[in-house]
Chain A
Amino acid sequence: MNSRTFQLAVVSAGASDPSSTRLLADRIAAGISRRAGQRGHTVERTVIELRPLAAEIATAITSQLLGPKMTEAVEILAAADGLVVSAPVYKARPSGLFTSFFQVLDNDLLIAKPVALAATAGTSRHALVVDEQLRGMFAFLRTLTAPTSLFAAPEDWGDPGLTGRIDRASVELVLLMEADLASAVRQESWGSYSHPLGGHTPDVAIDLESDLMRLAAGGSLNDRGPRGGATVVG
């Protein structure tokens, strides 16, 4: 296996300082670095704390304007080979700050990127939030989520089981980053996803061969294109 340098983006929505949400994220990131190191790789870690971005996230969700800190966060995510995302659980859901941050990103920003999912809560009764809430949102964003979910309630911090799960998820994430599906998808089938023009994902080509482009250039929806069977798409 060729040795590589992975860019790891760590997103933490912990609201206090120090925060257990950030602590969990850091432990996962450390696990990833260790496991990657054992396989001959280097990991460069960039942390995106959402608390200082709170005002810009609110602006982005109400007026679609990205401020300078949000723009920087998007650039970090665009360049990342893998992500660790860590959310505090409020009222049986990942915090609104965490959810809002990912809701304002372009749909194509994270396609096929590996993501380790993590959450913390005040009680173990919230343990399924990672699988039932986070996993669904990151499926919508078409990321590759690590199979092992990470969750820490107060009692987990004294339980070696958490350390074992962190290590397992770390191995999974390193292997997913090695597979580098995101780059392969970008080369093989990037055009098959819809991309917002003027969005924040670089290198999006405009497809001049679509049925709508033919209609724009004086054609008709009844014309048959090279693929046969023009369809009207909304």
Chain B
Amino acid sequence: MQFGIFSVSDITRDPVSGVTPSEAERIDAVVTIATHAEEVGLDVFAIGEHHNPPFFSSAPTTLLAFIAAQTERLIVSTATTLITTNDPVRIAEEYAMLQHLSKGRMDLMLGRGNTAPVYPWFGQDIRQGLPLALEHYNLLHRLWREDVVDWEGTFRTSLQGFTSTPRPLDDVPPFVWHGSIRTPEIAEQAAYYGDGFFANNIFWPKEHYIRLVNFYRQRFEHHGHGPRRQAIVGLGGQAYLAQRSQDAKAEFRPYFDEAPVYGNGPSLEEFSDMTPLSVGSPQEVIEKTLTFREYFGDYQRQLFLVDHAGMPLSMVLKQLDLLGGEVVPVLRRELAAMREPGVADAPTHAARVTAKYGDAAPRQPRPNANRGDNVTGQSPYQDTESSRLATSPAL
């Protein structure tokens, strides 16, 4: 079981101090938050992707590579990478590069994105968002598994004889989570490929997510990846902690009341009753988080949202101290004790290398020589299977 935090990268006015951080301040703060997550014993840091203010994270692999360079154990990930408006070829290249630089301490979560103008800004049509996401991922999946890809689809220019570089680290593709709230096609795609499925588990009642997680587990089994309890499930959640319950509510309330997603709606108490939001003492947050397992079954990754709505850096770091110091150790112990036998472990690069190669040495692709026109001819690597030779486009 992995525990971590995910951030949407919002730059929001602190409703208590009235200060809006600059982009420079917020970017530095997020790096500090990520490195502190490792210091307090968390396993994962994930960042969103946005292409408009008030968010900063337009280039997640750059940020995550920098964080990976400053940490030793932390897995860096996304929440989410836009599989719709990004070219899947660029996702294949950028995240394979991140995988090499982080020595495999990375994975990624794919999502569609719901900011309507972003689609036309990147030449896409939001009305085609779902088929776009599905087709793009079908291509991305091949780009990380086949040295040479010939591909033709509806939304992207076709590929002939294309090799995505660098090949994944140890020729083991990055692990992929598919994030979805209520789209069965996304759960089906995750199940078909045996990838992970992530339910963000904030904002709405748990019932909202349970059906799709169950559908994913059932289809995971249907597609032959093993029994449903071995499906790879991740959940979000939002917590605010203080030693005393009443302090947690008092400290968090001004941020809740003015948060763009919460403000002027139900009260903090009503929202806590209706959704997985937990605001209270470490014991209260532990108890609420333990209920997730009852509803969704044993799962592999728990991410908390702890840094949005204008909360200042000092406050977020204190949250991490409590989360890493008092909450997560108990959750690890309790969840491990309750875990059913045969449940899959959380995905890591090392485990995936072992699963692919056993004790044998992983493949390390070495390119063939530059033919003189900056291509390697028909065979990109010295050990590329001869059945996968490239047919280059006619010029």
Contact = CB atoms under 8 A, between A and B. Distances in A.
| Chain A residues touching B, majority SS | loop
A215 interface: yes
A65 B264 contact: no
Contacts of A212: 130-131, 134, 185
B274 A65 contact: yes
A216 interface: yes
Interface size class of B (residues with CB under 8 A): 35 or more
Interface stretch (B201-209, B319-327, B349-357, B386-394): B201-209
B129 to A, nearest CB: 8
Contact of A216 (B128, B182, B192, B203): B192
Nearest to B125: A234
Contacts of A63: 203, 261-262, 265-266
Contact of A215 (B131, B203, B204): B131
Nearest to B151: A220
Nearest to B137: A216
B212 interface: yes
B180 to A, nearest CB: 10
B154 interface: yes
Contacts of B129: 234
A181 to B, nearest CB: 28
Contacts, number: 84
Interface in A53-77: 59, 62-65, 67
A217 interface: yes
Contacts of B153: 220-221
Interface in B146-204: 152-154, 181-186, 188-189, 192-193, 203-204
Contact of B274 (A67, A206, A213): A67
Interface in B206-223: 207-209, 211-212, 215, 223
A217 B219 CA distance: 10
Contact of B209 (A59, A198, A206): A198
A196 interface: yes
B264 A62 contact: yes
B135 interface: yes
Contacts of A220: 135, 138, 153-154
A197 interface: yes
A34 B63 CA distance: 71
Interface in B265-301: 265-266, 270-271, 274-275
A233 interface: yes
B127 interface: yes
Nearest to B130: A212
A62 B183 CA distance: 22
B184 A206 contact: yes
B138 A215 contact: yes
A100 interface: no
Interface in A185-234: 196-198, 206, 208, 210, 212-213, 215-218, 220-222, 232-234
Contacts of B264: 62
Q: Which of B128, B184, B211 has the most CB of A within 10 A?
A: B184
Nearest to B134: A215
A32 B128 CA distance: 47
B188 A65 contact: no
Contacts of B181: 198
A212 B182 CA distance: 15
B266 A216 contact: no
Nearest to B192: A217
A65 B181 CA distance: 14
Contacts of A59: 265-266, 270
Contacts of B128: 232, 234
A198 B182 contact: yes
A67 B270 contact: yes
A193 to B, nearest CB: 15
A214 to B, nearest CB: 9
A208 B185 CA distance: 9
A12 B175 CA distance: 53
Given A64-B204, A217-B188, A217-B189, A197 B138 contact: no
Interface string B245-269: 0000000000000000110111000
Contacts of B275: 65
Q: Which 10 A-B pairs have the closest CB atoms?
A: A234-B127, A216-B189, A63-B265, A216-B188, A217-B192, A215-B134, A216-B185, A197-B182, A206-B184, A198-B208
Interface of B: 125, 127-131, 134-135, 138, 141, 152-154, 181-186, 188-189, 192-193, 203-205, 207-209, 211-212, 215, 223, 261-262, 264-266, 270-271, 274-275
Given A59-B266, A197-B183, A213-B188, 7 more contacts: A65-B204, A212-B131, A216-B186, A216-B188, A220-B153, A221-B153, A234-B129
28 contacts: A59-B266, A62-B265, A63-B262, A65-B265, A65-B274, A67-B270, A196-B182, A198-B208, A198-B211, A206-B184, A212-B185, A213-B184, A213-B188, A215-B131, A215-B134, A215-B185, A216-B192, A217-B192, A220-B138, A220-B154, A221-B135, A221-B153, A222-B154, A232-B128, A232-B131, A234-B125, A234-B129, A234-B130
